[in-house]
Structure 1
Amino acid sequence: MTDITWLKASSINFISIVIVLTFAGSVIQGFFRGGSGSAKHLLSMLVEAFVVIVSMFIAWKGVGLVSPLLQTWLKGQNLQVPSVDISALKQAYYTAITSIRDFPLLRFGVLFLLGYLIVKQFLNLLIDPLIGPWLAHRDPYRERSSSIISSISGGAIGSVAGFARALILIAVLFIYVTLFPHSLIAPYIESSQMYQKGAKEVISPFTGDFIADKAPVFTRAVEQEFTNILQRKYEVLDAKVPGNIVDAAKEVTASGTTDEEKAKLLYKWVGSRVQYDWDKVKLYEEQRIWKEQTPEDTFNTKEGVCIDYSRLYAQMARAVGLDVKVVTGLGYDGQGGYGPHAWNEVYLKESNRWVPLDSTWVASGGNWFNPPNFDQTHIKDA
């Protein structure tokens, strides 16, 4: 049973309830504020919306100019991860800086957020002195003398604000469903009649086919970049390759003359020398205790789980000049399901391509060095 089964089983759609409450809450709030208070609140909302839109536009345009300059500057620093032991703080620093340098979507996101916050703060400083005094001014006598009329007009103004808030909520849900159509909650959101009405009659006509056409491309780009950032973490963590691993890697690949031959020799060596550590798995499953280990620990003890196989393989591959990645995701469990898993991808210069391999599964038999349909048993994290 999934976490949202109980939602689907209910005859009440909670998405619709939240949308209705968003609207109703604004009407009630406007009723108690009165006409003057509601008008001021609505104006405040409109000003805030204006500031947000303008800030986002300026930040978006600014990032287009600043992002390539920042990338060029960071590349000019020739930043290399030290091949020595470094602290966790320095590991985080090198992971963040090199990721911002190498991954355009991450760099765009960081610069956009910083630019938006700076521009928004600047615009607020300009606008607050102009409208602040008017918003703060109140006429208690006038409000008391026409309390019923004021409340009714306040409720009417509140309904406008409520409609805007409900529409913003629907827009956020629309974007989520478009970006993640296969998520567990997406069908439940789409089953809401209130959502359908707002999305089909307001959001869709306004956006046209833009989101539908661009969202899948954007989602795939985000997924790929997120995977690359996860890989960068292990590249930084295991940048230092101990001498005994370097010596072993060179000895194992001594007979290899091409990248593919060297990669296969290491694949067979790691897969046949390291034994799967079932005690480590049991400790985590029963007590939620994770026994962290370095590639050198795996090399010395000859025991580990999939991530340990993959990290050791990556270090040995780098020791002989191969470009390699640690990939995390889901692996087929042989019983119709998938579980957390890790494997590698290695770059072969001769054929100019990345190929997958799974040294953990060597002991299970079969060929797991770039076999056909590898992606049917291995699903990358996204």
Structure 2
Amino acid sequence: MTHFVQALTQWEPVAVVVLLLLLGSLVQGMRRGASGSAKRLFFFIWEALLVVVFLFAAARLAAAWSPAAQRWLAARVTVPEGELGALAQLWYTLLTGMRDFTLLRFGILFLVSYWLLRFAGSFLTPLAHILFERLTGDRDGEEERPAGSLASRAAGALIGAVHGAGRSLVLLAALFIYVSLVPGGPLAEGIRSSPLYGEASERLLQPVAGSMLADRGPVLTKAVEEEFQRILQRKYEIIDYNIPDDIAAAALQVTKDERTAEGKAKALYNWLGTRIAYDWEKARNYEERGIWKEQTPQYTFEHRKGVCIDTARLYALMARAAGLEARVVTGLGADGQGGFGPHAWNEVKVDDGRWIPLDATWASSGNWFNPPNFDETHIRGA
């Protein structure tokens, strides 16, 4: 609890919005508690009870539906060939993300379940009105009770806190889905850097989704970071899903004499490492002027230059064309001066099922194809 209080006191956007939700709910609760109407207070308690029940039930339903949803999506979702527009990219990022990533799938199923339960719960409220009237004889809803006491205000505030906590949890789940699907979208970076958002991801996901992450290792934080990183990587997989013919032909030519996945991966590493020049002008424009030039793997292939993310995206595309499973990894790379800076590299799956790292951007400076010290110079982002 102390960690949440500390995170709430840091004046950043997510904390401010959650504080406003909590404050608004507390004020609403105090007003209901001092309203003088027994019926108003009863239905405020009723609404708080529904929030708690629906949150718990939504979590249980999401956990129960998740395996079936994964199987259904795995059998039906394939990304179409050809270049995808922005909306299509977002749509297939959503579908493939739900198919492949446990936390994202749980978050979406949790929100859908919660709002379906809220909709179904709206039909229970008229029944609650009838029950209240029969128990109290208060048919006009304005039977007075002693009002304005400190105790009644405190009780209302406590119930309001339950409302606020429930609303805040739903908001944080929605934010997780947003930054997962649109990692480069407006405010996404600020949301990810929020201490409150981080605390919620670490401390609220465990009781809600812990059983689903049990096979990911004993440390929940590590499981969350690894899964979130994979969600961020999905952006490049969807954008670069279509493989142009000339890139596919080049990849097959480079790997034609190799018989193993590792041999093909190493051949592609050598090819890109000796042919794609680092674009120092592009890097300086971004570092000194904040100007970023987005380029496709096709542009990198044709012009033979790019920065680390460009080389990594082209490598992943050529690897897939050669029949390999490969992904782009973003994080921090050693800068040679004792520090680290933003960087991108690749991981590729070899025949024994291992994912091995490689950095074709650095190939000219030494062996960066699965060396033993790779993790000392490359830090995965999260």
TM-score (norm 2): 0.72
* Count of residues in correspondence between the two structures: 329
Q: CA deviation at 1:111?
A: 1.3
The equivalent of 2:358 in structure 1 is: 357
Q: What is the CA–CA distance in structure 1 between the aligned matches of 2:52 and 2:269, rounded to whole Å? A: 53
Q: CA deviation at 1:32?
A: 10
SS of residue in 1 equivalent to 2:258: coil
CA offsets, 1:180-227, max 9 Å, x none?
xxx8958xx9xxxxxxxxxxxxxxxxx9xx99x989743333222222
Q: Structure 2: which amino acid aligns with 1:377?
A: T
Q: Structure 2: which amino acid aligns with 1:119?
A: L
Q: What is the CA–CA distance in structure 2 between the aligned matches of 1:46 and 1:102, rounded to whole Å? A: 39
Q: CA deviation at 1:271?
A: 1.8
Residue range with higher mean Cα deviation, 52-61 or 274-283: 52-61
Q: 2:154 aligns with which of 124, 142, 159?
A: 159
Q: CA deviation at 1:309?
A: 0.5
Q: Is the 8 A contact 2:332 2:340 kept in 1?
A: yes
The equivalent of 2:369 in structure 1 is: 369
SS of residue in 1 equivalent to 2:355: strand
Q: Structure 1: which amino acid aligns with 2:157?
A: G
Matched ranges for 1:247-326 at <5 A: 247-326=249-328
Q: CA deviation at 1:371?
A: 1.2
Q: 1:117 aligns with which of 90, 103, 115?
A: 115
Q: Is the 8 A contact 1:27 1:157 kept in 2?
A: no
Matched ranges for 1:186-225 at <5 A: 217-225=219-227
Q: CA deviation at 1:41?
A: 5.5
Q: CA deviation at 1:287?
A: 3.7
Q: What is the CA–CA distance in structure 2 between the aligned matches of 1:319 and 1:168, rounded to whole Å? A: 52
SS of residue in 2 equivalent to 1:52: helix
1:43 aligns with 2:46: no
Shift of the 265–63 alpha-carbon distance from structure 1 to 2, 3 Å rule, reads same
Q: Is the 8 A contact 1:42 1:157 kept in 2?
A: no
Q: CA deviation at 1:237?
A: 1.4
Identity of aligned residues (%): 45
CA offsets, 1:218-239, max 9 Å, x none?
3333222222222222222112
Q: What is the CA–CA distance in structure 1 between the aligned matches of 2:80 and 2:297, rounded to whole Å? A: 17
Q: CA deviation at 1:293?
A: 0.7
SS of residue in 1 equivalent to 2:333: strand
Q: 1:105 aligns with which of 103, 106, 110?
A: 103
Q: Is the 8 A contact 1:357 1:368 kept in 2?
A: yes
Q: Structure 2: which amino acid aligns with 1:266?
A: L
Rg larger in 1 or in 2?
1
The equivalent of 2:237 in structure 1 is: 235
1:379 aligns with 2:374: no
The equivalent of 1:75 in structure 2 is: 74
SS of residue in 2 equivalent to 1:312: helix
The equivalent of 2:141 in structure 1 is: 137
Which segments of 5 or more consecutive residues in structure 1 lack a partner in the other structure?
Answer: 1-6, 144-148, 177-182, 190-206
Shift of the 124–135 alpha-carbon distance from structure 1 to 2, 3 Å rule, reads farther
Q: What is the CA–CA distance in structure 1 between the aligned matches of 2:103 and 2:266, rounded to whole Å? A: 34
CA offsets, 1:159-197, max 9 Å, x none?
233356568989989xx9xxxxxx8958xx9xxxxxxxx
1:63 aligns with 2:62: yes
SS of residue in 2 equivalent to 1:36: coil
Shift of the 51–328 alpha-carbon distance from structure 1 to 2, 3 Å rule, reads same
Matched ranges for 1:159-178 at <5 A: 159-163=154-158
CA offsets, 1:289-343, max 9 Å, x none?
3211111100111111111000111111112111111111122222333222111
The equivalent of 2:185 in structure 1 is: none
CA offsets, 1:5-46, max 9 Å, x none?
xx99xxx9999xx99xx79x9589848974615x65653442
Q: Is the 8 A contact 2:33 2:155 kept in 1?
A: no
Q: Structure 1: which amino acid aligns with 2:141?
A: H
Q: Is the 8 A contact 1:35 1:157 kept in 2?
A: no
Q: What is the CA–CA distance in structure 1 between the aligned matches of 2:194 and 2:96, rounded to whole Å? A: 34
The equivalent of 1:201 in structure 2 is: none
The equivalent of 2:84 in structure 1 is: 86
Shift of the 32–116 alpha-carbon distance from structure 1 to 2, 3 Å rule, reads closer
The equivalent of 1:146 in structure 2 is: none
Q: CA deviation at 1:366?
A: 2.2
Q: What is the CA–CA distance in structure 2 between the aligned matches of 1:28 and 1:74, rounded to whole Å? A: 42
Q: What is the CA–CA distance in structure 2 between the aligned matches of 1:281 and 1:128, rounded to whole Å? A: 63
Q: Structure 1: which amino acid aligns with 2:353?
A: N
Shift of the 244–13 alpha-carbon distance from structure 1 to 2, 3 Å rule, reads closer
